[in-house]
Amino acid sequence: MRTKLCSLCLGVAIGLAALTTPLATAAAETIQRTVRGTVMASNAAVDPQTIVVKVVLPNKEELIVGARVPTDTKITRGTRATRLADLKVGEAAELTYLKAPDGLIVRSIHVR
């Protein structure tokens, strides 16, 4: 009886360990997304720099995306490189960002 109980406990422990490993790795994954919208705000004076873009979804709902802008982010206006401080509220922009466990991190911004 005692060996059956130990075997059962060991089986449950192994099963729980197998379930928790994929959950831990799934939470650490990052997802890249690209959105097109209107620049609502940007702040180059703070660390980390930030940008907020309003996106209108196909069902006419608005999505507000606020993200950190690291110093290595590629920012372009047309074909020329530009700075976050040069972006203006109301401009159309395409934002590519990573959705990470610690927030959204911009990889590139393209202003038309």
Question: Which of 23-32, 36-45, 57-66 comes out lowest in average pLDDT?
Answer: 23-32
Domain assignment present for residue 46? The answer is yes
Domain contains 47: yes
Give the per-residue pLDDT at 4. Answer: 53
pLDDT digits (tens, 9 = 90+) for 49-88: 999 999 998 999 999 999 999 999 999 999 999 999 999 9
Residue 8 domain flag: no
4 within some domain: no
> Is 17 part of any domain?
no
Total count of domains within the chain: 1
Q: Tell me whether residue 84 is in a domain.
A: yes
Mean pLDDT value of segment 105-111: 94
Question: What's the pTM?
Answer: 0.71
Q: Work out the angle at residue 56's Cα, subtended by the Cα atoms of residues 78 and 61, and round it to the nearest 5 degrees.
A: 170
Residue 93 pairs in a beta bridge with 37, 111
Percentage of the residues of the chain whose pLDDT score is greater than 90: 56
In this structure, is residue 23 part of a structural domain?
A: no
Cα–Cα dist 51/28, whole Å: 24
Q: Give the residue numbers spanning the domain of 93.
A: 31-111
CATH number reported for the structural domain that contains residue 75 in this entry? 2.40.50.140
Three-state SS for 36-49 is: EEEEEEEECCCCCE
Across 17-31, average pLDDT: 53
* Total residue count of the chain as it appears in this document: 112
Residue 35 lies in a domain: yes
pLDDT for 100 beyond 80:
yes
